[in-house]
A and B are shown apart, each in its own frame.
Chain A
């Protein structure tokens, strides 16, 4: 860390105006080919505040921040840091200007230690030892100051995502960042970890740091920010004081119309048991025990929500029930056993039994991205008699017509059956998968991360479809890492941790805090961690 006062563009130089914004952008525009990702953006971020930026996927938030961090060069516009006009041609320049960035997907070297990751790119000299020793000292100091405890010698691949995120923040602080940009920081965190993160951000703010928080979660914006800017279709539509706005107003600014934030649903009317899982166990190829004695039931006309931090067995549960993976134990559908060994069953035989599956990773398992919408809408059911013209040929014309009708019913935009799956937005891709699975009228719908990467407007629609299916008397098993979604959709909630069901709760009798503890493996009575 060289003498900071010699560094141009830093806060230590007397600013022309004592209250100059930490960041001021004027007229920033950026186009990728025909797509105008940012259009004439202007924003002022005051020092020592937490400034939220909210907007739908593709609204241009990430592009704007990438310009600020020197990843892209703006076509037009000016950047002022602490009142000084600053050029940011690359990340090095951004770091020099005191900007630190915590990316949504961490930029860490997995098999390096925490210390090595912190030092990388900010070494003192040609030899490593002195840099590492110095970083170790500074890390201890930062840990004390900001509750950022991390073992400096742990390998990144051995520590959890919450810790990894702390390493990213430490990296920025080690580079003496005064302005910290966090891109969707809570997507991978448990509620407790997210709370801890927000405490850290408050500490940083108290020390005079400026924080930009990019998120799509309205609740976080309301909880931690001082000011919030809303982006829509590449434009900055509004900047308001958080205290003077409401989630409803923000949602409307984001989408451009009124949005129903709470799911509108009547109480469930559960009927017969459709799915009965008893003592289900799954061991993966590496010999790791992924599901441990999982037992649950789903009745007709109800939604069972599975809450949990990603990677605690939810994916394996969906895979086994969907016929993709195999396991041991008993699973009955409408009172009849299902083969779990994988020898007499697969995804197709599950579908034949009336189990529809909307997989968690729709781009890898739900769709073939290079295939058109009408092809994707037949997948899995392509052997069905209704799609055959004769013994040899499929009835493509009828299929296309049917696809067009389904696209209309599920509001897929653009409603063009010949368009490749990859050319639809995340929300529209999900609607294609949903149209395929729901319209086959299944008894049981397995649905994983239904709204991951989906815009608010489409979330509303997808939630309505799920509830409508429930009201038709179908059983639904919902897996989601979004606690909001679980809380608002489920009729019952089961929490998974480390391959086990930690407990079942009714949404009316629990809250996010209690569920968060269960998600972290703490059952009531054993006390906190």
Chain B
């Protein structure tokens, strides 16, 4: 395998890890506050639909993104009302959101566009284009003949959409917010012992709503990237389990931001392998069934969720509605 192939695989690793990273950090904020969120999938899906639909209608990818975020935050608010205000079961609320999003998106897409539950393809200003960094080569021919350093710069560093860079920057920001700010201290505390937060005179409810809201925002970005960055338009169930993969990555990362980055990159890498069966077959020197490559990230998800990768301790108050006690 030559350097360029490796760089190409790493390049698509980054692209495919972007939505996972957004969703994973969304889950991190929510679950650190004590609200389990298996509705990442549904929130991403609805954001993907709204961003594609509005980007197509208005011809502006940014308006599409805002619409996607709005849709995702609306579902997050629903989750908040169910699990914070009404102290419902957070898993059931999450499942409901996933089903709601799966049905709602296709139904409305059919009603609006009549294309079998998809949106029309978005292009040009209705889609996120790659950003070419100064001096980066764009033609594949030029890249092939460039020096290794230039290859890496042009292929791997440059040429991603703005959202990929935003996702990467969100990791240190999340870390800083969580561990260096007052808000972060309170957020972590409310996921561990809401009673301590309440008696310290802090409003548990609003803190958790804020966390769920941030999760909605980040899932919105994930969905917008899926529909108007990675793909060109919305298709039925286009998230394809990415919300659950992000959840697995979150557990794998033990609810820490930097670990989350590496976990998402790992899943992105596995997904990118299925795009390059030629390189894989070349490496292992026999024909690997394409279906196996496709299934790899999901297999790893099951392995992680089944707890085969060491003990991950979730936030202690996770999943439990807070009730004031005597």
Which A residues contact B (CB, under 8 angstroms)?
Answer: 62-63, 66, 69, 71-72, 90-92, 94-95, 101, 103, 105, 107-112, 116-117, 119-123, 125-129, 131, 171
Contacts and interface: CB of A to CB of B under 8 A. Distances in A.
A122 B189 CA distance: 13
Interface stretch (B62-70, B72-80, B177-185): B177-185
A127 B189 contact: no
5 contacts: A71-B326, A120-B200, A120-B202, A123-B182, A127-B181
Contacts of B182: 123, 125-128, 131
Interface string B154-181: 0000000000000000000000000111
Given A109-B192, A112-B192, A120 B181 contact: no
Nearest to B202: A121
B202 to A, nearest CB: 5
Given A66-B326, A71-B324, A109-B189, A121 B195 contact: no
Contacts of A129: 180
A101 B199 contact: yes
Nearest to A100: B199
Nearest to B313: A111
Given A66-B326, A91-B198, A121 B193 contact: no
B192 A121 contact: no
B183 A120 contact: no
A63 B201 contact: no
Main SS class of interface, B: helix
Contact of A117 (B183, B186, B196, B198): B196
A305 to B, nearest CB: 31
B276 interface: no
B236 interface: no
Given A66-B326, A103-B199, A110 B181 contact: no
Q: Which of B180, B189, B197 has the most CB of A within 10 A?
A: B189
A128 B326 contact: no
A121 B326 contact: no
Q: Which of A101, A107, A119, A129 has the most CB of B within 10 A?
A: A107
A128 B185 contact: yes
B254 interface: no
Contacts, number: 77
A92 B203 CA distance: 9
Contact of A69 (B184, B185, B199): B199
Q: Which of B184, B202, B316, B326 has the most CB of A within 10 A?
A: B326
Given A63-B326, A107-B196, A109-B196, 17 more contacts: A72-B324, A90-B201, A91-B201, A94-B201, A95-B201, A105-B195, A107-B195, A109-B189, A110-B192, A110-B316, A111-B192, A111-B316, A112-B192, A119-B185, A120-B196, A128-B180, A129-B180
B190 to A, nearest CB: 9
Q: Which of B181, B192, B199, B203 has the most CB of A within 10 A?
A: B199
B192 A127 contact: no
Q: Which of A71, A94, A109, A129 has the most CB of B within 10 A?
A: A109
A116 B203 CA distance: 18
Given A66-B326, A107-B193, A112-B192, A91 B199 contact: yes
Contacts of B200: 91, 95, 107, 120-122, 171
Q: Which of A91, A105, A110 has the most CB of B within 10 A?
A: A91
Given A110-B192, A110-B193, A126 B183 contact: yes
Contacts of B179: 128
Nearest to A122: B200
A474 to B, nearest CB: 38
Contacts of A123: 182, 185
B180 A120 contact: no
Question: 6 closest pairs, A vs B, by CB?
Answer: A121-B200, A92-B201, A107-B196, A123-B182, A107-B199, A91-B201
Given A71-B324, A127-B181, A127-B182, A120 B198 contact: no
A120 B324 contact: no
A108 B193 contact: yes
A232 to B, nearest CB: 18
A117 B197 CA distance: 10
B201 A108 contact: no
Contacts of A105: 195
Contacts of A108: 193, 196
B117 to A, nearest CB: 45
Interface string B182-219: 11111011001101111111110000000000000000
Contacts of B199: 69, 91, 101, 103, 107
A219 B184 CA distance: 44
A69 B197 CA distance: 14
Nearest to A132: B185
A121 B316 CA distance: 19
Given A66-B326, A110-B192, A121 B197 contact: yes
